[in-house]
Amino acid sequence: MTRIIWIALGILLVADCTVFGYFFSQTYSEYERFRSREQTQDSDLKRAEQELAAKQLYHRRLYNDPHFLERVVRERLNYSRANERIFIFPEEPGEL
């Protein structure tokens, strides 16, 4: 009788270990997915912070440096001073 009890307890122990092992593997794979997502988001955040810093520097220069502002307006908007002509040449021949 005691032998049957020990065998039943052994089978239950193996079944419990199997179930807990399965749940542990599921939890660990979920943890790895979250960790991977966190690393991706950290790198995205760092890149966004760098872009923000660069844009803040650019805007600060626009507001505080009149020569930089003039250069940007002339290059991007093709503005000119009075009695000044601007020639725009196409990048590739025959684009006009």
Which amino acid is located at 11 in the chain?
I
Could you report the per-residue pLDDT of 53-77, keeping only the tens digit for each?
Answer: 999 999 999 999 999 998 998 888 8
Average pLDDT, the chain: 90
Cα dihedral 74, 78, 83, 89 sign: positive
pTM of the model as a whole: 0.57
Show me where the domains of the chain are located. Answer: 2-77
The answer for residues whose C-beta is within 8 angstroms of residue 62's C-beta and 6 or more apart is 68, 69, 72
pLDDT at residue 82, as a whole number: 81
